[in-house]
Structure 1
Amino acid sequence: MAGPRGGRRRLPAPEPPADGAAAHDAEPDAEQVARTIALRQLTAAPRSRAQLAEAMARRDVPADVATRVLDRFTEVGLVDDAAYAEMLVRTRHAERGLARRALAEELRRRGIDPEVAEGALAQVGEDDELAAARRLAEKKARATRGLDVQVRRRRLAGALGRKGFGAGVAMRVVEEVLAAEAADADDSAADPAG
């Protein structure tokens, strides 16, 4: 039989092959596949139960098998959504200065139960949130020196908004930071030796 380029056309191999290693290899056990997926995911980084279930679903692991494996992983402590949520809140707030609202959204996207998320978010108090907003506003204020005050105000408020801070908190912190900066400038002008 001739192929499109004049050569011989190969017929497809029978499924499964009659001999060789492929003839002896059975389909992998779905539970083993699920365990392997979960362990690889957890080795790379901590994950929520929902993220692991999603990874298994992408690899066509049956839902009942995924549930069984995830239940076992939860039982032995390899999957702990409460600990995961607390770690995520702690690190995202400390490293990125995210507000509770942004943290809650991130937990929701990662499939954390709302009650578990609320418990984790309790770590970040109002004072912690204000301190994070102030640090971010001070940093952004240093980067915008020399610009018009209204432009600076918009940029600072925008930066805080992107981190999940509400408009009230953002404007309060922006006004405090700009006022403190103006007071420092006035003190420096009054005391040229300083």
Structure 2
Amino acid sequence: MNDGGLEDPNDEEACREAALTLLDAAARPRKALYERLTGKGYAPETVEGTVKRMEELGLVDDESYARSYLRYCLGRNLGERGALREMTRKGLETSLAERVVAQAAERGLFVDSAYELGRKLARRTRGMDPQVRKRRLWSAGGRKGHNPSLIRQVAGDLFADSHDET
């Protein structure tokens, strides 16, 4: 037995079963599936063949995963940098993540995300000093990876007159 506890790291059927179990639990991009299977002790060439087969069957589709994960990121009110960071952390290739994020940016989805973040923060900070509200927006926007100029625009639009009709 090897360190991963497998009897045979070249067992294609066991590797395929492990891949299906992982994919049953959650969709995964190619790289993440590869890393999980090699981490379980399967030989890299066995894993590569298994991952390719999963792609041929349509069970692993990085493009589809990227678009789905982008929706998740937007639901969390992440900005361009935040979405890109999360997508690459999940195992998507940087070039694919950059392309999907750029397409979303062209469609104005990150502007919508920033304004939604601003509206949520405005509701939670209603009645506070306008400067405190703006600082909190700046802080949240920075953590979520929004463009500073976009956060400045949102702050100006939502907290411009410091009244609480937001």
Q: Which TM-score applies when normalising by structure 2?
A: 0.85
3-state SS of 2:104 partner:
coil
Structure 2 segments unaligned to the other structure (5+ residues): 1-6
Q: Which TM-score applies when normalising by structure 1?
A: 0.74
Shift of 1:34: 1.4
Match of 1:176 in 2: 157
Contact 2:126 2:164 in 1 (8 A): no
Flag the structure with more relative contact order, 1 or 2, with Cα contacts below 8 A and sequence separation at least 6.
2
Counterpart among 63, 74, 88 of residue 82 in structure 1: 63
Q: Does 1:117 align with 2:97?
A: yes
The CA distance in 2 between the partners of 1:123 and 1:98, in whole Å, is 12
3-state SS of 1:57 partner:
helix
Report matched runs for 1:83-102 at 5 Å: 83-93=64-74, 95-102=75-82
Structure 1 segments unaligned to the other structure (5+ residues): 1-26, 186-194
Match of 1:8 in 2: none
Match of 2:29 in 1: 48
The CA distance in 2 between the partners of 1:82 and 1:184, in whole Å, is 41
The CA distance in 1 between the partners of 2:15 and 2:70, in whole Å, is 28
Shift of 1:138: 1.4
Shift of 1:144: 0.9
Report matched runs for 1:1-194 at 5 Å: 27=7, 30-93=11-74, 95-121=75-101, 122-125=103-106, 127-179=108-160, 182=163, 184=165
Distance 1:91 1:124, change over 3 A: farther
3-state SS of 1:123 partner:
helix
Number of residue pairs the alignment of both structures matches: 160
Q: Which has the larger radius of gyration?
A: 1
